[in-house]
Amino acid sequence: MPKIRIGLSTDFNLTGEQVGIGTTNPTARLEVAGQILADNTAGSGGISTFKEYQGFYQTQSSISNKVTIDSTTAGNLNSLSGEIRIDGDVTIASDTSVTSGKIDSLTATGKFAVPYGGIGSRENTPEPGTIRFNQDVGTLEFFDGNLWKTVNSQSSGGSSGRVVFCGGLIHPVAPTLTKRMDYINLNTFGNSISFGELKDLVERRQTAGCSSTTRGLFMGGQGPAGNTNQIVYITIPTTGNAVDFGNLLAARQTCQTLSSSTRGISYGAGEPAVNVIEYVEIPTTGNSIQFGDADKLRRDGFALASPTRGVSGGGTGGTNADSLIEYITIASKGNGTEFGNLSYTGRGHRAFSNSVRGIINGGYALASPYVRSPGLQYITIATTGNAVDFGNLTIPMGGGSSSGTQSNHIRGVFAGASTPSNVNNIEYVTIASSGNGFDFGDLSSDSWNQTGACSNSHGGLGGF
């Protein structure tokens, strides 16, 4: 190491002196004994192009103080190109935090940790594209500029957006039960296509569906011998007949069903109306288990879900059941809690949702002549409160597909219903907006009512 270091900009002048390099007895102003070798030379401005300075050069630079790069005429942190150049690795100490600035690209070869926390710790107005891990939901989520949306890491391939309809009443000539299953894809428009048939070729109506991204379940219903407690399942990305899954706690029809990506829930049912909430684990097979009790006796109502919360309401059976909405937390077990009130009361409501908003149709009146309503209403699932007017369907529709899962995260459909005449209409709405329904296509039968339905992209699954 050198004993003396002189600053790179310091002048060092000798006047009337002789300097020797390699000799202790110089005879000239500068005498060098031996050969001089240099990669580069220094001009009048000082050292400018030496590749390294032996004794001063370090292969690793440690910065222990705060470093600030101010916006200057040379650019700011987003546009620096020549002011700072790092050819090697950069290590940031574990107790160091980066609080601002942008990086155009980043490659992590080991692990990369994102911010995490529960729903209550979200930023209110983060920058669009912000990503974090939600501990309450157990998944990644991102902010799209308006809403936090969960990231669904499961792939449904080309079948994403598929809705499967199951059973019901068809009326080509006279009312009759059907064992048929049809499907549509929400990403396109058009008529339904044959999917398969119910297990054991048993016809039924008023069955209800729920689903994960790959498996759809149909619970209960009414067949030729009366109500059934049977649960069957299908594999949504394929087509084929339903397979036995297990049984409900009792024979039921008009269940209100909802689901997360792992848990399927039946919320009340009839006849008679009950307040039982029961659940199954969708990836397995087996009988349902008691979840809790609904706040009201309820049948023929609606149900929908976000990844964390299930919501049910409307229907008939208990005092004011037709107007009340209640909710549960899907990952736990417990009783229903009051949410708010519907703006259109009655029974035969059908509903769907993305992870933020639920859309509910008007249903029909409790007493004869059972007037149908074309009205649509919506709720914000994460809050509590009354339903708000959304728009209208092209025709008044009550009954129809008894499921809360006929949607992806952009649009949902209402399919088949009674006006009171049975119809095969499929209408859709765009969930994030408010407005009227539009024609999507038709079910395969001339008239089809009291079907069950499920999809592999509904609001309970998260995703986007």
Q: Please report the domains of the chain, with CATH numbers, ordered by start residue.
A: 116-150 (no CATH), 162-461 (2.120.10.80)
Q: Identify the pLDDT of residue 204.
A: 84
> Each residue of 304-334: pLDDT tens digit?
999 889 999 988 887 777 889 999 999 889 9
Task: Of 18, 464, 451, give the one whose Cα is nearest residue 207.
Answer: 451
Confidence of residue 31 (pLDDT cuts 50, 70, 90): confident
> Each residue of 146-196: pLDDT tens digit?
767 666 555 555 568 999 998 887 765 556 888 889 999 999 999 999 999
Q: Identify the pLDDT of residue 1.
A: 42
Residue 67, pLDDT > 70, answer no
> Each residue of 102-122: pLDDT tens digit?
677 778 888 888 898 887 788
User: Could you tell me how many helices (H) and strands (E) the chain has, helices first?
Assistant: 0, 32
> Each residue of 376-400: pLDDT tens digit?
999 999 999 999 999 999 988 776 6
Give the residues across from 451 on adjacent strands.
none
Predicted model pTM: 0.69
Three-state DSSP class for 125?
coil
- Where do we find the tokens 């500068």? 30
Q: In whole angstroms, what is the distance from residue 148 CA to residue 127 CA?
A: 11
Q: 312, 256 in Cβ contact below 8 A?
A: yes
For the chain, how far is it from start to end, CA to CA, in angstroms?
62
Three-state DSSP class for 345?
coil
Q: In whole angstroms, what is the distance from residue 263 CA to residue 282 CA?
A: 5
Q: Identify the pLDDT of residue 7.
A: 54
Structure tokens that stand for 338 in this block: 């009051």
Average pLDDT over residues 400-413: 76
Q: Identify the pLDDT of residue 369.
A: 79
Beta strands 116-117 and 131-134, pairing class: parallel
Task: Of 209, 215, 214, give the one whose Cα is nearest residue 168.
Answer: 209
